Amino acid sequence: MTYVTVPDAPLLEIRGLSKHYGTIRALDDVSFSLDRDEIVGLLGDNGAGKSTLVKCLSGAVIPTAGEVYLHGDRKVFSTPAEARDEGIETVYQQLALVDIFDIPANFYLGREVVRDGWRGMLGILNRRLMRKRARAAVEALPARFPNLDADIETMSGGQRQVVAISRAGFWGGRLLLLDEPTAALGVKEAAAVLEMIGAMVSSTETDMAMIVISHNMEHVWSICTRLLILRQGRLVADLPKSETTRQEVVAHITGATA
Amino acid sequence: MNTRDADPGRGNGERGSPGAPAAGVMSKLVSRVRFTAMQARVGVLVLLCVFFTIRSPFFFTSTNLVNVLVNGAVIGIIGSAMTLLLVARQVDVSVGSAIGFAGAVFAVIARDYGMAWGVVGAIAAAMAIAGINAVAIIKFRVNSILTTLATLVAFRGASKLVMDGRAVRVEGFRFLGRTRFEVGGIEIPVAVIVLLLVVAVFYVLMRLTKYGQQMYAIGANPQAARLAGIPLERQVGIAFVLTGATVALASMIVVSQVGAVSPTTGERMEFLALTGVIVGGASLYGGRGSVIGTLVAILILAVLDNGLVLLQVQSFWQEVSRGVLLLGAVVFDQLGRREAEVRMDV
Ligand SMILES: Nc1ncnc2c1ncn2[C@@H]1O[C@H](COP(=O)(O)OP(=O)(O)OP(=O)(O)O)[C@@H](O)[C@H]1O
Ligand SMILES: [Mg+2]
């Protein structure tokens, strides 16, 4: 897919983004920009506003104020579908899978393919095509994948996580938002998922960037190139990984700045 | 628009997928449970038929079996739409009153302006109620049970107003309710043909189309459906409009069958349809249900009614038996779900 681009503009730029719930400032005047091939770790305590930031970018939440630019082009998303059409793929903290569907049906959730001709006009699904494409995508993945035909409800937490992340990878896009992709995973599972995420960015030829949220600093540290730290809705630090230490990051998260 | 996630109803999805081709071990197990539930329904239907055939010489005659189908037709038609609603975690309890109101409008207009305008009036009346339900549920986000409970009460009164509280006769409207076509020596009433067509349409809609797939997703996990870009309001609105269409059809069949409309026309039909839909395997928690299950369940209920009358059992037992069936279905459903939960932990 091709998008409108302004030369030399960053892939993503956010200016003064805020989201208020009544008197709660879930997100307060946040600005930063993101270049292609960057994997940014977004850190912060519970309630710091990480999920709110992701939802503002994915169209799930409408910001109270602020602007979002993709490749220099101003975007306003009022639904998740609009953000998706601009190449923003999101893995939500609550995964957003339909338990009673299998993997292909979840991959194509909201983007179901209908058949050609008159059947398509009646909205008849092309299940075989969706299955074929999902299978091809799944087989190309590094992670050992659960059975394609199994319904999500029969899967473990780790398998569900893999399905949700693979769905985002399946559709590609230019900005991948991962909210707690390794939460509730065992050590081995988390490592596999992180490896898969890293491979996803480096394997695509197109411009792509990623924001990864995690409570687990080791997980973020292992794959990201830069760290953003939120505290009480405000962006308190924006650090290249090469120029910081774990201690400094923890200090920013907790507010005990040295 | 507000983005406070999804629907009035919350909670996670329940078991029973629409069209996942079953091949995996787990999904095989799950689909086997569903298959058994379906088998159980068909088994109950067959057993009832055998029982009543043995006990009454009148049961297994083509005339009587056709009667059974006719008695199930109206409930089956609205039950098909009700199944779609339950799959998306919605319900419409106003259908009985809507049938009464559309019938009343039909009768009064037909009396004064002729049959064709009566038909137009019935369709308009049914669609108006569907529209009110849809707008309240979608735009004002009122829970569908409460919305349709209000329209149930209001339009029962409205139909009495339209008819001035008295029954109105409808002469010469035979086609939908009383015309029969001969097929292989058996006279098939138009109402039964309409029932089968409606079931076929809803079957295709729910099992084969993008719309149906999205309705299952909406019922199973409304938040996920919204985040995936599925237009929940539009899809649910369409389901209420389709319900209105089945109500229009059902009201005309009832009027044609009875030849009159009274202040009680359509009363309790919402409960009969809902009983059928739930015995048929749908759940109020959404994501589950099929029109075939509903059809079989409504046949069970119709056979039961018919057989008990033939055996001259006191009519109170019909209601008791219906209640027992409903309870049985709900308990069976719950047992099946436990089993699924246990399996998930393995
Ligand atoms: N829909 C909402 N209505 C009201 N307040 C909200 C809503 N969503 C989030 N908040 C508030 O906004 C703040 C930020 O929440 P957010 O979910 O973004 O935090 P988070 O950093 O993702 O936390 P966690 O690490 O626990 O996931 C919290 O104080 C939360 O209570
Ligand atoms: Mg969060």
Distance (Å, rounded) from C-alpha B133 to C-alpha B183? 40
**Is the whole-model pTM more than 0.95?**
no
State whether the beta carbon of A140 lies less than 6 angstroms from ligand 1.
no
Distance (Å, rounded) from C-alpha A101 to C-alpha A206? 31
State whether the beta carbon of A48 lies less than 6 angstroms from ligand 1.
yes
Q: What is the DSSP letter of A113?
A: P
CB B131 within 8 A of CB B257: no
Backbone phi and psi for residue A101, each to the nearest 5 degrees, phi listed first:
-105, 160
Is the predicted pLDDT of residue B102 greater than 80, yes or no? yes
- The pLDDT of residue A148 is 82
Residues A209-219, mean pLDDT to the nearest whole number: 87
The ipTM assigned to this model is 0.89
Place of tokens 């979608």: B138
Q: Which amino acid does the sequence have at A223?
A: I
Distance (Å, rounded) from C-alpha A58 to C-alpha B167? 58
- The pLDDT of residue B29 is 54
- The pLDDT of residue B346 is 26
Q: Which residues pair with B168 in a beta bridge?
A: B261
Q: Name every residue whose Cβ is closer than 8 Å to that of residue B32 and which is 6 or more positions away in sequence.
A: none
Identify which of A190, A195, A177 has the alpha carbon closest to the alpha carbon of residue A93. A177
State whether the beta carbon of A23 lies less than 6 angstroms from ligand 1.
no
* A188 alpha carbon – ligand 2 mean position (Å): 23
Residues in chain A: 258
- The pLDDT of residue A155 is 84
Per-window interface: A 123-162 vs B, CB < 8 A: 123-125, 127, 131, 147-151, 153-154
Mutation test residue for ligand 1: of A21, A211, A213, A214, the one with most atoms within 8 Å of CB? A21
Our CA dihedral for B28, B30, B33, B39, rounded to 10 degrees, sits at -60
Range in A126-135, B27-36, B199-208, B323-332 with the lowest mean pLDDT: B27-36
Residues A118-141, mean pLDDT to the nearest whole number: 90
Cβ separation B208–A90 shorter than 8 A: no
Alpha-carbon gap: B342 to the closest alpha carbon of chain A (Å): 10
Q: What is the DSSP letter of A241?
A: G
Helix (H) or strand (E) holding A33: strand A24-34
Distance (Å, rounded) from C-alpha B202 to C-alpha B76? 11
* A28 alpha carbon – ligand 2 mean position (Å): 16
Q: What's chain B's average pLDDT? A: 87
CB B341 within 8 A of CB B89: no
- The pLDDT of residue B184 is 82
Place of tokens 């394609």: A148
Residues B219-235, mean pLDDT to the nearest whole number: 95
Dump pLDDT digits (tens) for B124-153: 999 999 999 999 999 998 999 999 999 999
Domain holding A82: CATH number?
3.40.50.300
Is residue A143 domain-resident? Answer: no
With an 8 Å Cβ cutoff, is A90 touching chain B? yes
Identify which of B83, B71, B59 has the alpha carbon closest to the alpha carbon of residue B280. B83
CB B247 within 8 A of CB B152: no
Q: Which amino acid does the sequence have at A215?
A: H
- Would you tell me which CATH number, out of the four given (1.10.3470, 3.40.50, 1.10.600, 1.10.10), belongs to the domain B66-345? 1.10.3470
- The pLDDT of residue A257 is 59
Is the predicted pLDDT of residue B3 greater than 60, yes or no? no
Distance (Å, rounded) from C-alpha B218 to C-alpha A71? 34
Distance (Å, rounded) from C-alpha A34 to C-alpha A72? 11
The chain B residue lying nearest A103, using CA atoms, is B20
The pair of three-digit structure tokens given for residue B318, joined into one six-digit string: 């019909």
Domain carrying residue A76: 12-20+34-98+156-254
Is the predicted pLDDT of residue A95 greater than 50, yes or no? yes
State whether the beta carbon of A51 lies less than 6 angstroms from ligand 1.
yes
Identify which of A246, A80, A86 has the alpha carbon closest to the alpha carbon of residue B223. A80
CB A150 within 8 A of CB B22: no
- The model's confidence at residue B25, banded by pLDDT at 50, 70 and 90, is low
Say what percent of chain A tops pLDDT 90. 54
Handedness of CA B277, B283, B285, B287 (dihedral sign): negative
Burial of B329: CB neighbours in 10 Å, binned 0-12, 13-18, 19+: buried
Ramachandran area for residue B231 (φ above 0: left; ψ -120 to 50: alpha; else beta) = beta
With an 8 Å Cβ cutoff, is A84 touching chain B? yes
Pick from A99, A110, A122: CB nearest B230? A110
Residues of chain A contacting B287 with CB distance shorter than 8 Å: 98-100
Pick from A96, A151, A153: CB nearest B224? A96
Residue B318's alpha-carbon distances to A152, B305, B309, in angstroms, are 41, 6, 9
B229 C-beta neighbours (distance < 10 Å), count: 18
Alpha-carbon gap: B2 to the closest alpha carbon of chain A (Å): 8
Ramachandran area for residue B343 (φ above 0: left; ψ -120 to 50: alpha; else beta) = alpha
What DSSP letter does each residue of B74-127 carry, written as one string?
HHHHHHHHHHHHHHTT---TTHHHHHHHHHHHHHHHHHHH-HHHHHHHHHHHHH
Helix axes B210-220, B232-258, angle to 10 degrees: 110
Residue A201's alpha-carbon distances to A131, A193, A198, A212, in angstroms, are 24, 13, 6, 12
Residues B45-51, mean pLDDT to the nearest whole number: 96
Is residue A240 domain-resident? Answer: yes
Backbone phi and psi for residue A64, each to the nearest 5 degrees, phi listed first:
-70, -35
Is residue A201 domain-resident? Answer: yes
- The pLDDT of residue A205 is 66
Structural domains in chain A (count): 1
- The pLDDT of residue B10 is 29
The chain B residue lying nearest A101, using CA atoms, is B17
**Optimal mutation site among B210, B290, B345, B346, interface A, most CBs of chain A within 10 A:** B210
Distance (Å, rounded) from C-alpha B157 to C-alpha A118? 45
Q: Which residues pair with B181 in a beta bridge?
A: B188
Place of tokens 């109105």: B168
Distance (Å, rounded) from C-alpha B237 to C-alpha B229? 16
* A15 alpha carbon – ligand 1 mean position (Å): 20
* A62 alpha carbon – ligand 1 mean position (Å): 14
- The pLDDT of residue A193 is 79
State whether the beta carbon of A198 lies less than 6 angstroms from ligand 1.
no
Distance (Å, rounded) from C-alpha B153 to C-alpha B155? 6
| Residue with the larger pLDDT of the pair A61 and B25 | A61
Q: What is the DSSP letter of A168?
A: H
- The model's confidence at residue B304, banded by pLDDT at 50, 70 and 90, is very high
Cβ separation B21–A79 shorter than 8 A: no
Q: Name every residue whose Cβ is closer than 8 Å to that of residue B341 and which is 6 or more positions away in sequence.
A: none
Is the predicted pLDDT of residue A202 greater than 80, yes or no? no
Place of tokens 């197109």: A206
Is residue A160 domain-resident? Answer: yes
